[in-house]
Amino acid sequence: MENFHSKTIEDVLNDLKTSLKGISSQEASSRVSTYGYNELKESKKKTKLALFLEQFKNFLVLILIAAAIISIFIKEIKDAILIMLIVIFNGIFGFIQEYKSEKAIEALKKLTSLNATVIRDGKQIQIPTKELVPGDIVLLEEGSKIPADCRLIEVINLETQEASLTGESTPVSKITSLIKEDAPIADQKNMVFSSTIVTRGRGKAIVVKTGMNTEIGTIASLIQKQQEELTPLQQKLEVLGKKLGIASLVICGIIMIVLLFTKESLLEALIISVSLAVAAIPEGLPAIVTISLALGVQRMSKKNALIRKLPAVETLGSTNVILSDKTGTITKNEMTVKKIYTGNLLIEVTGSGYENKGQFTLNNKKHYSKDLEQLLIIGMLCNNASVDFSKKQIIGDPTEASLIVSASKAGLNKNEIETQFKRLQEIPFDSEKKYMATIHEKGNKKFLYVKGAPDMIIDLCAYVLINNKQVKLDSKKKKQILDTNNQLASEALRVLGFAYKEGNVKM
């Protein structure tokens, strides 16, 4: 495996026989033949017929089929028809549920980025992501999905969200310098990986791995090689089926011996003993189990959880402990503003996620003030994220998205506010300054808005806004603000500071 993260940009370009001007279209076509398309290969799909026949692999169902055949043999046609109707109904019901799940999963797979911006023949063009090949130069921008594993060659405040791959819940800042060879994926900060998202900034990168050779492709390959095991419920039904089968054979044998000793004919003894054995089998059990599991699947689907195999519902219900070492692995990776400190008041914010439903409360009563409104406007304008409330989707950094959501709870609309306050300049956030700043113009007035680490922001300020008035920021007020910052941080909250200036502003 090539350790591209531990190589210089020049070495990577040479290894992949490319340049900063990209490869030619002709060379790209040739490389598609060599490397294949940039897409994840799926294991061979089951046909509808195979999926339907799979419903009859249960041992208990096989016993029922055998019972129906025997019933026909002993001329109990009504019993045979009833048993087969139950078996077929059970198979159809299970097939419908699993087929619907497969279709839903296929629909989810289509929700991926379809195009990538690359440099080919020295020109910037857009191509389908499946046509990317190692050696392509890809341009990355905020909100875009990384189309392949790439070595970064240029970054401008670039951050990516890698929770889907590493479980890391916070955006990862990217660099172009060398990383030591034995660094794990989470520490390879000069690389970007397929299926992760750019949350901030922009960059340029060399495609080094595509399709099944990417890190996400490796995971997909391991999943496909995983052998399917029986769930606890399937194992129990398998045991029950075997016990019923053995019990039926024993009953059949005992009754037949007893009847032969009472001088019944061999055929009569066989018919009676087989009839009793068939009667001992609970024909309705598979159907009851299938219906119960199907109800569980429907309840899970209402909570946006897709269950591919019916018996998996029972397995999930039997789970006692789930172990996870990363918050981003099992959470929604959503940020929500919960508390706001402004004007010497600590205000609670209700609601969660990316729904613009909630309110601001102080001592359990609704609260709104000019101080609060000013802070919400700063958070909304000194911001590069966007939120689609109808789809509950964001583009950009989750923290910035949460600021837009909190402002919308006060009835502030980002598009309308941005129309009024035209952005003129921006200083992007970086790890040294620890703040982001933007300059806006409304009419003949200019405004500077800043957000970042509270301890850095407060050192830039001479005044604090209290009751919509600028009050001198003395050492006592400064200590009070920093103490509140420490208190909120101790409650495991991520804390941001906000500031503004009106009038003669410049970067």
The CATH number assigned to the domain holding 198 equals 2.70.150.10
Residues 304 and 384 in one domain: no
**By three-state DSSP, how is residue 22 classified?**
coil
Residues 28 and 156 in one domain: yes
How is 366-400 classified by DSSP, letter by letter?
A: E---HHHHHHHHHHHHS---EEETTTTEEES-HHH
Q: In the prediction, which pLDDT does 302 show?
A: 74
Q: Is the pLDDT of residue 416 over 80?
A: yes
Has residue 159 been placed in a domain? yes
Residues 366 and 498 in one domain: yes
Structure tokens at 161: 């969200």
Taking only the tens place, the pLDDT of each residue in 30-58 is 999 999 999 877 666 677 787 777 777 77
Q: 76 near 275, Cβ under 8 Å?
A: yes
Task: Look at residues 293, 310, 327 and tell me which one is the last residue of a structural domain.
Answer: 310
11: annotated active-site residue: no
| DSSP secondary structure letter of residue 145 | B
Residues 492 and 370 in one domain: yes
Has residue 122 been placed in a domain? no
For residue 376, name the pLDDT band (cuts at 50, 70, 90): very high
Taking only the tens place, the pLDDT of each residue in 175-208 is 999 999 889 888 999 999 998 988 888 899 999 9
Q: 344 near 369, Cβ under 8 Å?
A: no
Residues 186 and 266 in one domain: no
Residues 353 and 393 in one domain: yes
To 10 degrees, the CA torsion angle through 167, 303, 89, 229?
20
Q: In the prediction, which pLDDT does 112 show?
A: 47
Has residue 333 been placed in a domain? no
- How many distinct structural domains can be found in the chain? 3
**What percent of the chain is predicted at pLDDT more than 70?**
86
Residues 422 and 485 in one domain: yes
Residues 371 and 489 in one domain: yes
Q: In the prediction, which pLDDT does 176 show?
A: 93
CA torsion sign for 54, 59, 62, 68 is negative
Write out the residue range of the structural domain in which residue 62 sits. 48-107+228-310
CB-based contacts of 476-485 (< 8 A; 24+ apart in sequence): 480/344, 481/341, 481/454, 482/454, 482/455, 482/458, 484/341, 484/346, 485/454, 485/455
Q: What value does the mean pLDDT take over residues 315-334?
A: 68
Catalytic annotation, pick one of 136, 325, 430, 455: 325
SS3 content of the chain, % helix, strand, coil (to 5): 45, 20, 35
Q: Is the pLDDT of residue 390 over 70?
A: yes
Residues 252 and 137 in one domain: no
Taking only the tens place, the pLDDT of each residue in 83-136 is 788 778 777 877 876 777 666 556 555 544 478 889 998 888 889 999 999 999
Residues 208 and 63 in one domain: no
Has residue 326 been placed in a domain? no
Residues 245 and 367 in one domain: no
Number of Cβ within a 10 Å radius of residue 326: 13
Taking only the tens place, the pLDDT of each residue in 134-159 is 999 999 988 788 999 999 999 988 99
Residues 360 and 463 in one domain: yes
Has residue 63 been placed in a domain? yes
Tell me the CATH number at 362.
3.40.1110.10
Give the H or E element holding residue 306.
none
Structure tokens at 365: 């009563």
Q: What value does the mean pLDDT take over residues 479-496?
A: 93
Q: What value does the mean pLDDT take over residues 312-321?
A: 75
Q: What value does the mean pLDDT take over residues 460-485?
A: 94
Q: In the prediction, which pLDDT does 154 show?
A: 92
